[in-house]
Structure 1
C-alpha cells in the first residue's frame, strides 16, 4: 500500500508523491546531459557535490533517487542542500538495485518508497532541510581525518612528480604561443558561468590564451569565445569543442595510458599527449607556466579545502601543490573581477567629449532660436576676447 508523504514528519512535504520516467546513470555528469524536466534522476553518487547538484537542478527533474548516501560523513558537502532548497525531492541510500532500472521506466516516489506500477522497487530515506543539516553537522566532525589523508596524498604526489613540479621536466612542447601572454584556464566548476561573464571586459582587452579543461572548453564556447587550447582526459568535452580548431592536449596516466586518445584521433585530430599524475586542471596550469605565461587566471577551479574534498578524488592534493608551484602567476577569477575594471583611454574620452559638443551645437544651429542664441554667444565671446587682449597689451 502506498504511503503518503504528508503522514511522515521526517520526509519532505511533496503531496501525494511525484511520478516520472526514470533516467539512470552511474555518472551524474553524463546523466545531466540527457535529463529532462519531469524525469526522475537515478544516480550513484556518494557525497553529492555542489557542481553536480547545480547541474541536476538546472535540468528540473521531478525527483532524484541516489543509490548511496548523498552525505557519507567524510565532510559537509553541500549538494543535497542545494537539491532540497530547490524543492526537488531526494530519496537517499535507496540501494544499488535502483541502478538496474531501465531508462524510461515509469516511477513514482512516495515518502521513503519508490514504486514502479504496483511494485515497490526500493526503499530509502527521504531527505528534507532538517535531516540534511543534521547530516552536515555530523560530517563536520570528519574534517580532521580528511585533512590528515589530504596531507598524506600531498606527500605521495611530491614523491611521484618532484621533477615535474620543481623543474618542469616532462612537459611536452605545444604549438600554441603562450610566452609573455595572459592565460585564462576554465574548469567547469564553481561559479564558472558568472566568472566568465564578469571577465568579458578583461578578455576583450587583454585577449588571453583561452584554455579549456575538458568541459571547460564547452563553457568557453557557450560564453561566445573559442578556446585556443583544450586539456584533459577527454571524458566530458564535446565533439563540437574538439573540432573548433583548438590545439588538443590529452592528459595521460603516468604510465602513458591515455583512454581519451582514441576518441580524439577518431575525429581526425593529432593531439599532444601529456603523461602526469594529478588532475587535468594541474596539467593545464603546469603547461601554461612552463610555456612562459605572464599571468594565469583561473575560472571554476578549486580554492578552499571543502572544494578540494568536494571533487571526491585523492588526486586533488596535486592541485594544491600545483597552485603553490605557479602561485606567483596565479590569480583566481574572483580576484580579477574585484581588481580589474575596464580602462577607458584618455584619447577616447576626449573624442567622446568633442563629438558630444559638435552634436550639441549642430542641434542648436538647426533652429531659429538656437541661431539667435549662438549669435549672442559669439558677441559675448568677442567682448571677452577683446577684454583679455586689452589687459595683456
Structure 2
C-alpha cells in the first residue's frame, strides 16, 4: 500500500512584507508598520521623509518615481540605504496600480511578486547605482539653483512689504522682547533636537512657538503654553485641548483659502491672530518671532542648509530661503546650541552674544536683510562721551593721550553738535575693521546730528583674487540692472559703483527703488556683503572703514574709486598704521574722497564725523589724530 506524500513547498527567495501604499507620502507614513514594504510616488525623496520612513522599520521602499531625478543630489535614498532598506524605483504609474495596499509581496532583484506571480518591476538601487546617480545630480544643481534664484526674486517682489519691512506681521500679547525664542517645527529628528535643548530650555526659559503638529509633540514632552502657529490645513492641526491650552494661536494660511481653518478654530473656541502672506507656516513663524524683538531665535526642525532648502518639496522654497536671510544672525539652529552652551559660564551672561555671533556661519546662509526695524545690536547707540570711555584704556599710554582724552571728554559733543544735521551716512566696513571703532564712529555720527542708514560689511570673498571673475560677472549684471554706473570700468571700480548706487548716490532718493532692492539682495545672497541693522534708505554720504592691510591693494583701491564716483561725499577712515590708507593717499585722486587716520583713538573718532561733514561742501582732504592734513575747518 502506497502512503500519500505531502509536498513540502519550497521557500521562494527575496524580501517579504505587506505592501503599504499612499499618496502623498506624508499621509502614508503614519500607517507604516515594522516589516512593511512602503510604496510611494515621490520624486527626489528628501532626508526628512526618509528618516520618518526609517523610524517605522520598513524592509523595503518601492517608488514609482526616480529616487534621484538629477535636479540636485537629494539625501533621502542614501538615508534609506544606510539603514539597510531595499530600494526599487522607476516602477511607473502602471506598476504602482498593481501594488495594492495590504497585499503580501516579495521583492527580488528589482521585481515584485505575490508568491510566484510577478506584479511589476523597477530598478534595483544598489550602493554603486545610487552613488552614480548622486554624482550625475551634482551636474544639474546649477540649473536648479538658477530657477531657485529666479523664484526668490519673484517672491521678493511679491512679498516685499513683509520681508523687507515687516508689514502685516502680527504683534503678539506674549512678552518676547529681549527674551530668547525657540521656534519648533515637526521633524523626524525633533526628539533628538529637543533633548539637546534641554539645558537651554531649563536655564533660559525661552518663549516657544510651535508650528502645527509640533505642538502635539511638545505637549507629550510636558512643554505646554506655547504660541501655536497654524497653516491652512486643519487635518494636521493639534487636538482641541492643545489649541485651547496655547498661550496664543496665529493663523498663517500661506496664500491658501482659510475658511475651513477659520471654521475649525471657531468650533474649538479659539480666537486666532491672522498673518496674511504667501509664506509657508514654518517661515511665517520665524517672521512672527522676529517682529517681537527677541534677543535670539533658535530654530528646531527647520531647514538650515542649502540641501535642506532644495529638498523641501513645499512650493514656498524661495520664501524659506529669504526668511532666513531676513533674520540673519538672529537665527541659530538647535543643533548648534548644545556645543555652545557646554562651553559657556554657568551664569549664562555671555550665551546669547556668542550664539548670535556664530549664527550666520552655523545656519549656512548669509546674514542681512532687515525685518520689523529690529537688530540685535542697534546702530548709533554710542556718543562722543561713549567713545571717550571706549578709547580711554589706549589713551593712558602717554601724557599727550591723557590730555587728548580729557579735551574730547570736555569738548567732543560741542565740536560735533549739528555738523551732520539732516545727513544720512552709509557705513561700509572692510574685512578686519575693528568693531569697537565702528561703534564709536556710528555713535559720533549720531552725536553730530546725522543718521546711519545701516552698516554694510564687505566679506573677504569680494576682495579675494580667486573670486575676481565672479565679482566681475555679477558687477556687470548689476550695473545693467540698476541702470546706473559704468559697465566699462574695471572689476572693482564697477563693483564699487554698484554698492554706491545701491546704498547711496550722488542724488539719493528718499527710499530704495526696486533696482536697488534687487541689487542689495544679489549682493547679500552672493555672500559678498552682510548688512548689520536695517538700511533705512539711500545715503548722501559714505564712510568706509578700512581693516587689515592687503599685499595687493587693487581691490580696495578699485572699490574706493567706484564708491567715490557714485556718492555725494566719501570719507575713508583707518587706524594710524594702515598701509592700505597710505596707498590710497599716495594716489593722485584730488576730490575723490577725504580720509582720516587714527580711528583707534578718540581724536580720530571725533575727526571722522567732522571730516565727513566737510565732504558736503568741499570734497577731499587728509586728516587724522596726527594732524596729517592740518586743522579741520567748517
TM range (shorter): 0.7 to 0.9
1:165 equivalent in structure 2? 163
Equivalent pairs, count: 332
Tell me, yes or no, if the aligned pair for 2:47 and 2:79 is still in contact at 8 Å.
yes
Alignment deviations for residues 230-277 of structure 1 (CA, whole Å, 9 cap, x no partner): 223245444277446113222213375465444444444333332211
1:150 equivalent in structure 2? 148
Q: 2:244 & 2:95 partners in 1: Cα distance?
A: 39
**Cα 1:69/1:266, change in 2 over 3 Å:** farther
**Cα 1:259/1:53, change in 2 over 3 Å:** farther
2:288 equivalent in structure 1? 287
Larger RCO (alpha carbons 8 Å, 6+ apart) = 1
Q: In the TM superposition, what are the counterparts of 1:63-212 in structure 2 within 5 Å?
A: 63-100=60-97, 101-189=99-187, 191-212=189-210
Tell me, yes or no, if the aligned pair for 1:67 and 1:96 is still in contact at 8 Å.
yes
**Cα 1:205/1:32, change in 2 over 3 Å:** same
Q: 1:345 & 1:295 partners in 2: Cα distance?
A: 17
1:37 equivalent in structure 2? 34
User: 1:343, CA displacement in angstroms?
Assistant: 5.2
Q: 1:259 & 1:93 partners in 2: Cα distance?
A: 37
Q: 1:47 & 1:64 partners in 2: Cα distance?
A: 13
Q: 2:252 & 2:96 partners in 1: Cα distance?
A: 30
Q: In the TM superposition, what are the counterparts of 1:1-393 in structure 2 within 5 Å?
A: 16-100=13-97, 101-189=99-187, 191-226=189-224, 228-233=226-231, 234=233, 235-239=235-239, 242-243=242-243, 245-246=245-246, 247-254=248-255, 257=258, 260-341=261-342, 344=346
TM-score by length of 2: 0.49
Structure 1 unaligned blocks of 5 or more: 1-14, 347-393
**Cα 1:95/1:165, change in 2 over 3 Å:** same
**Cα 1:188/1:160, change in 2 over 3 Å:** same
CA-based RMSD: 2.4
Q: 1:38 & 1:190 partners in 2: Cα distance?
A: 19
Tell me, yes or no, if the aligned pair for 2:16 and 2:107 is still in contact at 8 Å.
yes
Tell me, yes or no, if the aligned pair for 1:217 and 1:230 is still in contact at 8 Å.
yes
Q: 2:347 & 2:288 partners in 1: Cα distance?
A: 34
Alignment deviations for residues 130-159 of structure 1 (CA, whole Å, 9 cap, x no partner): 111111011011111111111101101111
Tell me, yes or no, if the aligned pair for 1:217 and 1:241 is still in contact at 8 Å.
no
* Structure 2 SS opposite 1:275: coil
**Cα 1:194/1:77, change in 2 over 3 Å:** same
Q: 1:255 & 1:236 partners in 2: Cα distance?
A: 15
Tell me, yes or no, if the aligned pair for 1:181 and 1:295 is still in contact at 8 Å.
yes
**Cα 1:25/1:260, change in 2 over 3 Å:** farther
* Structure 2 SS opposite 1:252: coil
**Cα 1:240/1:42, change in 2 over 3 Å:** farther
